[in-house]
Amino acid sequence: MSEILIRREGRAGRITLNRPEALNALSYPMCLALDAALIGWRDDPDVALVLIDAAGDRAFCAGGDIAQLYAEGIAGNHDHGRDFWRDEYRMNARIADYAKPVVSLIHGFCMGGGVGVACHASHRIVGETAQIAMPECAIGLVPDVGGSALLAHAPGHLGAYLGTTGRRMGPADAIYAGFADCFVPQAAWPDLIATLCATGDVAAIRGQTPPPASLPALQPQIDRHFASADLARVLASLDGDDSDFARETRLTLGRVSPLAAALTLAIQAQLGPPPSLRQALELEYRVSFRAQADTDFLEGIRAMIIDKDRKPRWQAAADAVAIAALLAPLGPDTLTFTEE
Q: What is the CATH number of the domain that holds 239?
A: 3.90.226.10
Q: What are phi and psi of 6, to 5 degrees?
A: -125, 125
Give Cα 14 to chain centroid, integer Å: 21
Confidence category of residue 339, pLDDT binned at 50, 70, 90 = low
pLDDT of residue 272: 75
Tens digit of each residue's pLDDT (9 = 90 or more) over 259-318: 999 999 999 999 978 889 999 999 999 999 999 999 999 999 999 999 999 999 998 788
pLDDT of residue 91: 98
Query: 136 catalytic, yes or no?
Result: yes
User: What single DSSP character describes residue 276?
Assistant: P
Q: How many domains does the chain have?
A: 1
- Bridge partners of 23? none
Which residue among the candidates 144, 173, 282, 299 is catalytic per the annotation? Answer: 144
Q: Which range marks the domain in which residue 151 is found?
A: 4-333
- Bridge partners of 53? 16
- Bridge partners of 8? 13
User: What single DSSP character describes residue 311?
Assistant: -
Q: Are strands 109-111 and 131-133 parallel, antiparallel or unpaired?
A: parallel
Decide if 67 is inside a domain. Answer: yes
Decide if 235 is inside a domain. Answer: yes
Query: 144 catalytic, yes or no?
Result: yes
Q: What whole-number distance in Å separates Cα of residue 69 and Cα of residue 133?
A: 20
Decide if 76 is inside a domain. Answer: yes
Decide if 338 is inside a domain. Answer: no
Q: What whole-number distance in Å separates Cα of residue 171 and Cα of residue 192?
A: 18
Which residue among the candidates 65, 72, 88, 136 is catalytic per the annotation? Answer: 136
Decide if 52 is inside a domain. Answer: yes
Q: What is the mean pLDDT of the chain?
A: 96
Give Cα 132 to chain centroid, integer Å: 8
Q: What whole-number distance in Å separates Cα of residue 84 and Cα of residue 2?
A: 19
Tens digit of each residue's pLDDT (9 = 90 or more) over 31-49: 999 999 999 999 999 999 9
Mean pLDDT of 181-186: 98
Query: 64 catalytic, yes or no?
Result: yes
Query: 241 catalytic, yes or no?
Result: no
Which residue among the candidates 73, 113, 146, 147 is catalytic per the annotation? Answer: 113
pLDDT of residue 316: 78
Decide if 171 is inside a domain. Answer: yes
Decide if 339 is inside a domain. Answer: no
Tens digit of each residue's pLDDT (9 = 90 or more) over 126-149: 999 999 999 999 999 999 999 999
Q: How many other CB atoms are found less than 10 A from the CB of residue 310?
A: 9
Which residue among the candidates 64, 81, 147, 200 is catalytic per the annotation? Answer: 64
CB 160 within 8 A of CB 275: no
Decide if 172 is inside a domain. Answer: yes
pLDDT of residue 314: 96
> Is the N-terminal amide bond of 274 cis, ω within 30° of 0?
yes
Half-sphere exposure of 142 (CA within 13 A, CB side): 37
User: What single DSSP character describes residue 48?
Assistant: -
